[in-house]
Every structure is written in C-alpha cells, then in structure tokens.
Amino acid sequence: MKRFIQKLGPGLLFAGAAIGVSHLVQSTRAGADFGFGLLWALLLIHLVKYPFFQYGPRYASATGESLLEGYRKLGKGVLILYGLLTSLTMFTIQAAVTIVTAGIATSLFGDFISVKVWTVVILSVCFIILNIGKYRFLDVMMKVIIITLTLTTLVATAMAIYNSSEAVSFTQLLPEGSIEITFLIAFMGWMPAPLDISVWHSLWTTEKQKTSTEKRHPKTALLDFNIGYLGTILLGVSFVALGALVMHPTGNSFSNSAGTFSVQLIDMYTQSLGNWAYVIIGIAAFTTMFSTTLTTLDASPRSMHKTTELVFEKSFKNGYLIWSVVLILGTLSIYFFFLSEMGSLIKVATVLSFLTAPFYALTNYILISSKHTPKEWRPSKILHIMSCFGILFLIGFSVWYLTIL
C-alpha cells in the first residue's frame, strides 16, 4: 500500500489544484442556489473535459516530454498563442484562489488581520515554500491534504443526508436569464478545473520522472490521473449535496465577500457535524485552498518559464523565479487596484477559463493523435469520439454564451 501511494503524485497534484474554488465555492453555491438541479452540468463537464485532461499525463509519460514541448512540435505559433492565453488568465486565476484562501484564514484565525494582509502573507509563504522545497515537498504535502479533505467532506455529506428532514428534489434545471447562465458557464469553466491544467499535469509528470528512481510507465501515470479525477467528481457531488441539503432549504445564498463566504462555508459543515468540527473543518478548508494557491503559484511560472525557453530556444537560469515574482506582483495589482470582491474575481477568472477551453481541447487532441505520440499511446476509438464531442460542445457553449452577453 505504501509503495502504491508513493507512486501517486501528479494525479493528486491535479486534484489539489482542481479541488479549490470549483468545489468549495462554485459547487456549494450551485447546491445552495439550485439544489441538486445542476448535477447534470457537473457530471457532463467532467465527461467532456476528461480526454483533454488525460492527454497531459498520457503524452508526458509516453514521450518523456511535457505538452509544451509537444506544442512546439506543432509549430512555434501554437506555443506563442499558449503563452498569450496564459498571460491573460494566470493573474485572475491566482487572485481568485488566493482571496478565497485569505477569507478562510480570516474566519479561522480571527479578523484582526484583514483579508488584504492575509493575501500578501499567503503569497509570500507559498513563494518561500516553492523556492526551498520544490516539487518533492509539494508532492508529499498534497497527498496528506487531499486525503484529509476527502474524509471530512464525505463524513459531513453523510451526516447532512442523515439529518435532513426535507423532501429532496433531483429535478434537473437549465438556468434562464443572463445572470444564471453566466453562473452556469462559470461553474462549468472551472469544473473540475481550467483545461490549461492539462499542461501543468504534463509538467508535473515529467518532474515526477526526474525525482523517481524508476521510469514511470504510461499505465501508472494514467491510473494516477484517473484516481485524482474520480476524486474530483466524488467531492464535486459531495459539495453540491452539502449546499443543497444545508443551505438550499433556508433560502439563503453565499456571500460574494471572501470573509463572509468563509464563515458560511464552515458553518455549513458544523450544521452537519456539530460545533466540535469547526476547527477541524476550518483547517481542512484552509489547507485545501492553500494547496490550490500553492499549486497554481508553482504551475503558472513553471509553464511560462518552459514556454519562453522553447520559444526563444535558449535556457533562462532564473526564469522560474522571475515568473513567480511577476505572477505575485500581477496578482496583488489586480486585487488591490481592480477587483477586490471575491465574487467578481471568480466570475471573471472562470468565464475566461471556459472561453479559452476550446484552444486547449483542440490542441491536445491534435498533438496526442499526431506522429509525435507513439502509436500505441494514441487515443482509442472511444477517446476519439469523446474528444470530437467535447470540442464541439466547448465551442458551441462558448459561442452560445457570447451571443447572449
């Protein structure tokens, strides 16, 4: 068992990056506002995005290269477009996950330190950890966090089901009106995560190979990914259920303020488990969002550093460090000077992620189906069908959203 857990890594990093805003914020909000009415959207978007996320570890373990090196083989223009899209989204993504983490810290440790100060502190601590501990620390820390959150969430969901006296409706709903449709797009945009995480996953897979004493077989990488992906589905359904069972019957909705939202989130757990669980749940929620902040702060600079090296065809010794500083400064600028409300930040970040998803879906599919991937690890017929359906769905949904703006 210990040997099996040691083999896991990038899949749990994927889960750590995914199980954050999309689950703690968006899934619980979906449950609170729509009951179980958006379960169809949660399950459908997992199905739609599955092949494109899976192509990250598939390509990396089969070739020993990240998706970025594969993009370069498709043409420098593809890589440049990736860099442009990432530079458009990485600051809002980092700002969104960091403000939620800061909000939870405020409710857990007391509001004598403001959300703004917590934002600076959290980014600084993450920066220090990543530049001292590197991948190995991230790998070990994520396994502990994901297992802790999974157990506490499943127990809280089971207790909420047991304590529920209200009749539960599983009627599925299609949101109407621009506000509700915008929420649906935002919900699906980050469920279970933005598609650019497929690139991050491929980078973590190649990094895992560097720190491992034995070669990582593609089957092991895919098993690792599937475990992490199933975990995101299970927890997504659990968070929707908590919102539907605890918040929805009261008619209340979650606040757009980071501090108020965090109190509501932890209270939702304690209503199911009892007041004794406040500290445990608070720590679990904080460590979960902290892990998301940590992984995004690692992945965006890592991917941009690799992109600049591939575009300019030269090595940059301190590229990772420089991009980390740029990301932190850009994140703080967005938060302090443009968008400081959690709800607005999340909406902008998640909608941007959904609108850029067709690029990642199409590019990943072209690469994994090309001569650059060993023939035995190219997609099966079922993956080809799922990929074509997914690309059409993402493009169609994006066009539909743009037409109703």
Residue for token digits 């980014």? Answer: 123
How far, in whole angstroms, is CA 171 from its chain's centroid? 27
Q: Span 341-346, mean pLDDT?
A: 74
- Which residues touch 381 (CB under 8 Å, ≥6 apart)? none
Q: What is the pTM of this model?
A: 0.87
Name the residue range of residue 394's domain. 2-404
Q: Are 236 and 191 in contact (CB under 8 A)?
A: yes
Alpha-carbon distance 259 to 236, whole Å?
A: 22
Q: What is the pLDDT of residue 223?
A: 85
| CA pseudo-torsion sign 77, 83, 87, 92 | positive
pLDDT band at 294 (very low <50, low <70, confident <90, very high): confident
pLDDT tens, residue by residue, 96-143: 889 889 988 988 887 778 888 999 999 999 998 887 765 566 666 767
For residue 211, what are its two tokens?
């720190």
pLDDT tens, residue by residue, 373-389: 999 999 999 999 999 99
What's the one-letter identity of residue 262?
A: S
pLDDT at 343 over 70: yes
Q: What is the pLDDT of residue 15?
A: 75
Alpha-carbon distance 87 to 338, whole Å?
A: 17
Alpha-carbon distance 185 to 191, whole Å?
A: 10
Peptide bond into 301 cis (omega under 30): no
DSSP 302-363: HHHHHHHHHHHTS--TTHHHHHHHHHHHHHHHIIIII---HHHHHHHHHHHHHHHHHHHHHH
pLDDT at 366 over 80: yes
What number of CA atoms fall less than 13 Å from residue 230's CA on the CB side?
6
Q: What is the pLDDT of residue 388?
A: 97
Task: Please provide the average confidence, as pLDDT, over all residues in the chain.
Answer: 85
Residue 373: φ, ψ to 5°: -105, 130
Alpha-carbon distance 342 to 360, whole Å?
A: 26
Range with the poorest average pLDDT among 85-89, 140-144, 247-251: 140-144
**What CATH number has the domain bearing residue 126?**
1.20.1740.10
Domain count, the chain: 1
Q: Nearest CA to 266 among 281, 251, 249, 280? A: 281
